[in-house]
Amino acid sequence: MDANPLLQRKTAQFTHLVTEGTHYEVGRALGAHHKNNSAMLSFLSSPFMGASPLTPYAADKAMESFERYCPGLNEEIQGFADETGVEAAHVVFYYSYSQAPGHCTQAAYRTGASGEQSGHICHMRNYDFGWEDEPYNQLLLSTTRVKGKPAHTGFALQLFGRYDGMNEAGLTVTTTSGRVRPEMTGEGFIFPGVVRALLDQCTTAEEAVQLMRSMPVADYRNFLISDAQGNIALVETAGTEKEIQYHPATAASLSVSQLVLSANHYTLPSMQLHNQQVMENSWTRYDALRAALMDDNTAIHPVEAMKAAAGREYPEGICCHHYSEGLGTLWSMVCDNTARELHICFGSPQLNGWRTFGFLDPAGMRVYEAVLPDKRSAEGFWTRPS
C-alpha cells in the first residue's frame, strides 16, 4: 500500500506579463491589467497580513527608503495608483520596508576550466508553498523593461516586488527563508524590495553585494546572487544581522567548479545561532541538492542537470507535492546566466514541461496552466528538533 497516496490534483493558472516604458508607464500598465479585478485591488491596497494601516510617517519613510535604494519605484506605484484610483500610500508593497512565508531551495553553479562548458554559470531555485488562490498567490511571471534600467524577468510578489529573477546583464537573485514565520522587529527592507532593487540597480554580483551592504535589511532570509562573469555571493540575514560570503571569479577559482546552495536554514558561521527549530526537510533538501549537483554530469550539462535536480522528488530530491500542507513546488527556475535565458517550469516538474524565457517578448500577457498534485507528507517531514 502506498504510504503517501495522491489526494487530489489542482490546475493552477500562471500569467506572464510583459510591461515596458518609464517606471510610471509600467505602473499604468500594471494598473490597467488589474483594475477590473476587485479582489486583487483590495489585496494590493490593504494592510499586509492583518497589520495596522501605515501611518503617514511610516508611509513617507518607506517611500524615502525606496527612492534611495530603488529610485523610480515610487513613480511605478504612482502610475498604478493613478490608473486604479488606489491611494499610493496605501499600496501593500510599502510594507516590504520594515513577511511572506515560503520553503525554497536554491543553488548557483560555475563549471571549471575543462570541457566545452568552461566557466559556464547557472543558477536554480524551487519555490515551494501552498496552493492558495489569487490574490495571495499571484503566480505572476513579470518581464519588466524600464527605460534606463536593465530589463529583468522574475516572479512578482505584491506586484512590484520580486521573489526571484534575472536581468539582461545576467545577474540572478533568488531567496530562501532562513527561519519560518519569525517575529519581525527591526527596521529595514524585507526580501521583495531587496530583490527588486538588486535587479533594477545592479549588473554584477559585486555591485549587488555593495548595495546589500548599504541597505537596511530586516528579514530572516538567504539571498543567493550570481552574475554572467561567474561571481557568486551568498548573503544570509537574520533580523538586521548579515553575513556575506563572496566567491569571486578569479583566474585561480575558475580552474575548478564552484557550487553554492541554501535551503531554509543558515550555513554561514556567524549565523548558526539563528538556526532555531530547523525543519528536518530543510536539511534533507539541502543534502539532496548538493549530492545531485556534485555529480560529474553537472559540469558537462549544467542546465539539464539543474532541471533534473529540480524535478527529483523528495527525499531523494527537492521537488515536493504537499500543497495542502503549505510545501509544494509552485515553480522551478534554472537561469543560464551565460546565455541570458530563464528556463521555467510552472508547477511540479514531474507533471509539467519546461519553457524558456528571455527579455524581448512583446508587451502584453500570456497565460499558462500547470498541474499541482497533492500528497500527504511522510512521517517526520515537519519535525523540528526540540
3-state secondary structure of 267: coil
What pairing do the DSSP bridges indicate for beta strands 241-247 and 258-262?
Answer: unpaired
3-state secondary structure of 125: strand
Select from 3.40.640.10, 3.30.1490.20, 1.50.10.150, 3.60.60.10 the CATH code of 11-19+100-375.
3.60.60.10
Torsion-angle region of residue 42: left (phi > 0), alpha (psi -120 to 50) or beta? Answer: alpha
Nearest to 200 by CA among 154, 139, 231, 246: 154
Predicted TM-score (pTM) of this structure: 0.94
Domain parsing of the chain, residue ranges: 11-19+100-375
d(CA 286, CA 345): 20
pLDDT at 99: 45
3-state secondary structure of 280: helix
- pLDDT tens-place values along the chain, 386 residues long: 345 566 789 999 999 999 999 999 999 999 999 999 999 999 898 877 667 778 888 889 999 999 999 999 999 999 999 999 999 999 989 988 864 456 799 999 999 875 556 789 999 999 999 887 677 788 999 999 999 999 999 999 999 999 999 999 999 999 999 987 787 778 999 999 999 999 999 999 999 999 999 999 999 999 999 999 999 999 999 999 999 999 999 888 888 899 999 999 999 999 999 998 899 999 999 999 999 999 888 999 999 999 999 999 999 999 999 999 999 999 999 999 999 999 999 999 999 999 999 999 999 999 999 999 999 999 989 887 65
Please give the helix or strand (H or E) that residue 9 lies within, else none.
strand 6-21
pLDDT at 46: 82
Environment class of 326 (CB within 10 Å of its CB; exposed 0-12, middle 13-18, buried 19+): middle
d(CA 142, CA 145): 10
pLDDT at 180: 77
Residue 89 CB partners (closer than 8 Å, separation 6+) = 54, 56, 59, 63
Cα separation values, 18 from 43, 221, 361, Å: 21, 28, 7
* Cell reading at 143: 518581464
What value, to the nearest 5°, has the Cα angle with vertex 207 and ends 25 and 335?
70
Buried b (16+ CB within 10 A) or exposed e, 146-167: beebbbbbbbbbbbbbbbbbbb
State the number of CA atoms in the 13 A half-sphere of 317 facing the CB.
22
Cα separation values, 113 from 121, 160, 180, Å: 12, 39, 39
* Cell reading at 325: 500542507
